[in-house]
Amino acid sequence: MTSKSRANVVSSFTVIKGAMVEETYAVFSAWDFNASKRENLDHLRNMNFIGAKSATWLRDVAKVLNRRFDPEGRDRALVLLANRGVRIEEWKPLLLWHMTRDEFLVRDFLETWLFDAYEAGTFRIRTDEIETYLIEIEKRGAVTEHAWSDRTTNRVAAGLLKIAADFGLLRGSARREFASYHLPEQSFMYLLHAMRDAKVSPGKVINSPDWRLFLMRPSDVEQELLRLHQFRKLEYHVAGSLVQLNLPCTTSSEYAERMVA
């Protein structure tokens, strides 16, 4: 049941269905690592242990999780953290990072359109502004599954704003405005390890577009690295163009184990 990468595929279905933060946390909290992905999702459908209010929503949760995550591979640490009861406030940013590894539209919207709006000092965001961005999404390297009607485009635009709000980047419902967001320390440390897993050099870690998911500029990342270095939670040294970054664990999976130890 492991699917090939959908990193450039735009799915209106998953965006419209939303972030599913609480549902995903509940499912992963009960995940059986001795069973397959299919068996775990079948158990969810059969038992409805998350208390879904309708059979349709239960089916949609299982479908989105199947499409969005690889608990037996790339996303195992994310599942482990929920399974071991890490605080949802620390887990939620990691959910965003993991789901955007294979969900082009959410990643591109947050890293480009929303971050640029944030940098420009935009105060309030309207759905129709997102629709303009969506019309040209294929020019950004996206592959759409099918042509969208005007209604679908509107629902996707609203879905993107709701996802940003669900992760604490925006606030409000009728009127979306930027929130004051701070990435928790444990989450920041996990993401550093995850980027190193991907063989990203220390210099490129600071400038990684992934930090834009959390409305962080390179200067914000560097400031946090200096703070953590001061408290001896990592080692960060800069000499000209040379950047040295030593982390407490070898991999993100090892750091995840430390988080729940």
pLDDT one-digit tens code per residue, 43-61: 999 999 999 999 999 999 9
* pLDDT score of 4 more than 60: no
Tens of pLDDT along 60-90?
999 999 999 999 999 999 999 999 999 999 9
What kind of fold does domain 1-181 have according to CATH? 1.10.3540
pLDDT confidence band for 6 (50 / 70 / 90): low
CA distance 78 to 55: 26
pLDDT value for 245: 96
- 145: its two tokens: 């599954």
DSSP assignment letter at 81: H
pLDDT, the chain, mean: 93
* pLDDT score of 14 more than 70: yes
Tens of pLDDT along 179-238?
999 999 999 999 999 999 998 899 999 999 999 999 999 999 999 999 999 999 999 999
CA distance 51 to 5: 30
Tens of pLDDT along 100-124?
998 899 999 999 999 999 999 998 9
Q: Where in the chain is the domain with CATH 1.10.3540.10?
A: 1-181
What kind of fold does domain 185-259 have according to CATH? Arc Repressor Mutant, subunit A (1.10.10)
Task: Give the end-to-end CA distance of the chain in Å, rounded to a whole number.
Answer: 30
CA distance 67 to 63: 6
Count Cβ atoms below 10 Å from residue 234 Cβ, excluding itself: 15
Angle at 75 between CA 69 and CA 78, to 5 degrees: 110
